[in-house]
Structure 1
Amino acid sequence: MPANPKYLSSNWQRFAKISAGFLGGYFVSITFHMALSYWVNHVNVIITLTFTGFILWVTLMIIAFLAKNGWKIWGIYLFLSLFFSLVIYLSKTYHPIAL
């Protein structure tokens, strides 16, 4: 029995969800941990990144596939990545770490 066509998405939506899940989720999880490393001990963040980075990436990937519109998810993930990048920039400027 074939699937009901009203539940199927277009090829562009499928591409947007897959790419947002893989790339967008990766960008958000890495920029989040980089921004976090400027405010707490960066050695501890790098060690926990091996576990929490994967968990966050998988969670963001699942959220991308559950969403109805893949382009909105791309927008949200790009906004979050840019926000965390701004936090990184401001952290380097106003809260430099003496290494």
Structure 2
Amino acid sequence: MPANKKYLTASASQRFAKITAGFLGGYMVTVTLHIALAYWVDHVNVLMTLRFMGFLLWCILFLLAFLVKNGWKIWGVYLLLTLVFSAGIYLGKIYGTA
């Protein structure tokens, strides 16, 4: 049974943006979040949590990229979150407990 045509209207650039945002952007957000948390709380516990929760969060962010209409906007959101968590890493190096 073929797919419904109304769900296949995205252009090639939108498909590319959504796939790369979900795959790469979701991974960047997941990793920077956990590294920032590792600087602020006990890093052993956070890194063990990353093994399990990290994969789940990455999958959720990957699927979330396909729910938005514009793939470039989700790229912007993921890059903004990555920058915020990177600032947390920087501040964690200065003021954190690690």
Q: Taking structure 2 as the reference length, what is the TM-score of the superposition?
A: 0.91
User: What percent identity do the matched residue pairs reach?
Assistant: 58
Name the count of aligned residue pairs.
Answer: 97
Quick one: structure 1 residues 32 and 6, their matched pair in 2 at CA, closer, same or farther if it must change by over 3 Å? closer
Cα distance in 1 for residues equivalent to 2:96 and 2:25: 27
Structure 2 residue 35 is the aligned partner of structure 1 residue 13: no
Bigger Cα displacement from structure 2, 87-96 vs 35-44: 87-96
Q: Which residue of 2 aligns with 1:47?
A: 48
**Consecutive unaligned residues in structure 2, runs of 5 or more:** none
**Per-residue deviation, residues 66-99 of structure 1 (Å, max 9, x unmatched):** 11100000000000000000010011012252xx
Cα distance in 2 for residues equivalent to 1:61 and 1:27: 11
Contact 2:25 2:75 in 1 (8 A): yes
Q: Which residue of 2 aligns with 1:76?
A: 77
**Match runs of 1:79-90 below 5 Å:** 79-90=80-91
**Per-residue deviation, residues 11-55 of structure 1 (Å, max 9, x unmatched):** 000000000000000000000000011111100011110100000
Cα distance in 2 for residues equivalent to 1:61 and 1:51: 16
Cα distance in 2 for residues equivalent to 1:75 and 1:9: 18
Cα distance in 1 for residues equivalent to 2:55 and 2:3: 35
Quick one: structure 1 residues 67 and 40, their matched pair in 2 at CA, closer, same or farther if it must change by over 3 Å? same
Instruction: Report deviation, 1:8.
Output: 1.0
> Which aligned segments of 4 or more residues in structure 1 are displaced greater than 6 angstroms?
none
**Consecutive unaligned residues in structure 1, runs of 5 or more:** none
Q: State the superposition RMSD in angstroms.
A: 1.6
Cα distance in 2 for residues equivalent to 1:92 and 1:2: 50
Q: Taking structure 1 as the reference length, what is the TM-score of the superposition?
A: 0.91
